[in-house]
A and B are shown apart, each in its own frame.
Chain A
């Protein structure tokens, strides 16, 4: 008589079924979007009828999409860069001086995640645009920097937790000034954390709706917001094509970052 199978057995039917359902729900929507993007019909339809690239042409021809894409890129790169400029030193200070610094500090850096994004977006609108009177792009940049800051601090902090700070002291004792030591000794050893933080922050910023919807203004929009307003007026598959482009771009950015910076030449 066969022993009852453990639920941890790789070939357990329940496990296989659960895995299949997860894949179905993860990939299903993507298949529909891809299908619709290449369809020939004038409305979102699945399964696609006919094959054409006309909705891609339509997307590229649309100046609003082009302009919002540029804004999205500026905001995603700028905001992520800003968040890294703040997040790397913050994460460093918090792991290096963990004993001396108050615990509340690390909680403060996660706050933006805890506040509902709608509320955060509205308060940023009040603060950045109404009170400070910042131009739309500047407000978007700051808003997105704040949005992704918790991710950068957390991810880089996790990577620093594995770093042995006595290596930093060793470098200093060998004659390397502190700031230079940070660049030559600390940074190379948390590189994978910085890259992961960049990718995570960049994608979060690129796909953000709830903050951007408050901070975009007349004539300036990010791509997700532009898609949203397009769908309110038109029902054709252009949005599907734009979504496909956005996905391809995201994957391309991740791959490029991983290729250029992430290749590990050493084993750790």
Chain B
């Protein structure tokens, strides 16, 4: 039976250092939510609190109707998948997978059936008698996955499960994890520092920083409408351009910034533009146009790099360095003057968080 997970006002400390601050999150039954952030942001701490390897200093953790906050880890009924697999080196693949069933007192013949079925599902039926030392990284992670799934836990948790695998295998495995989680119907928490991984398999993603959740949304919303500069940078809005609206006419906001910067932003495309704001722009969101264009950000082109889909330019502007993509058919020279014009699809409007 799958359950929803709720953390309410959870605060946690390592010694005297506060690592989580008043964190609240609700994860619906059957939902997969990723905790995404750089190391030290509190994502692994959150997972360890839910698993029961740490106790919060304040707040409650509930799984369905059960209060987990002070429940010993071995009674929480959670399937865990670790970054370094954490297989039992002295047990065969089948015994590794059967370990949880054994703890639950499942009879040997039923245990054998369920282990065999699970190994079949992760494609390891032929390796049941091997020991972990004789497996590849991908196979080990499949064993770990089978071991966590076979107990049909109320909650599945993944702690950077793919970071020890190579790039190709990572992509295959994350699809496999998502399919297994869907089929199982388990509520899942997925901890990672890899944005693409988190976005590709999650129903929702919580972006974390300094022990707090900065934004919790669907991948689509996060990617297109981040709510802060921190999240915007995280999802690839490399350029932050502070602006102020000087005039509005016929649904177009005229905004000015650093010396000579003057932009026309149609509100039909950019959405509602506040009086003071920061324009976040991906490199592909700044079009490189002729220097004599009437509007745009005056820029001097610097180093040009070839990305396959475009040429990318390091630009010097009165407001600081910006990165912009230029067209492939017309490579431009270093030192050339140009104007940068924002494209709505690759830009976002961010609140001016009191900079300057």
Contacts and interface: CB of A to CB of B under 8 A. Distances in A.
A267 B134 contact: yes
Interface in A154-181: 164, 166-167, 169-178, 181
A188 interface: yes
A25 interface: no
Contacts of A181: 74
B77 interface: yes
B84 A174 contact: no
B299 interface: no
B75 to A, nearest CB: 7
Contacts of A171: 88, 99
Interface string B38-74: 0000000000000111000000000000000000111
A189 B80 contact: no
Interface string A227-262: 000000000000000000000000000000000000
B80 A169 contact: yes
Interface centre among A173, A185, A266 (most CB of B within 10 A): A173
B89 A170 contact: no
A170 B131 contact: no
Interface centre among B88, B104, B131, B134 (most CB of A within 10 A): B88
Contacts of A268: 89-90, 131, 133
B79 to A, nearest CB: 7
A267 B80 CA distance: 25
Contacts of A167: 86-89
A155 B52 CA distance: 31
A173 B133 CA distance: 22
Nearest to A191: B90
A172 B74 contact: yes
B311 interface: no
B76 interface: yes
Looking at chain A's contact residues, the main secondary structure is: helix
B79 A173 contact: yes
B89 A178 contact: no
B82 A175 contact: no
Contact of B86 (A169, A175, A177): A169
Contacts of A169: 51, 53, 73, 80, 82, 86
B100 interface: yes
A174 B90 contact: no
A40 B77 CA distance: 74
Contacts of B86: 164, 166-167, 169-170
B90 A173 contact: no
A174 B100 contact: yes
A54 B134 CA distance: 56
B131 A267 contact: yes
Contacts of A267: 131, 133-134
Contacts of B53: 169, 172
B140 to A, nearest CB: 12
B78 A173 contact: yes
Interface string A195-236: 000000000000000000000000000000000000000000
Given A166-B82, A167-B88, A188-B90, A175 B103 contact: yes
A164 B86 CA distance: 7
Interface centre among A172, A175, A266 (most CB of B within 10 A): A175
A172 B73 contact: yes
A187 to B, nearest CB: 10
A266 B92 CA distance: 9
B103 A176 contact: yes
A175 B89 contact: no
A170 B99 CA distance: 10
B10 interface: no
Interface string A11-45: 00000000000000000000000000000000000
B151 interface: yes
5 contacts: A170-B82, A171-B88, A173-B78, A173-B79, A266-B133
Interface of B: 51-53, 72-80, 82, 84, 86-90, 99-100, 103-104, 131, 133-134, 144, 147, 151
Closest 6 CB pairs of A and B: A175-B103, A174-B100, A166-B86, A170-B86, A173-B80, A188-B90
Given A173-B78, A174-B100, 8 more contacts: A164-B86, A167-B89, A169-B82, A171-B99, A173-B80, A174-B74, A174-B99, A178-B72
Interface of A: 164, 166-167, 169-178, 181, 185, 188-189, 266-268
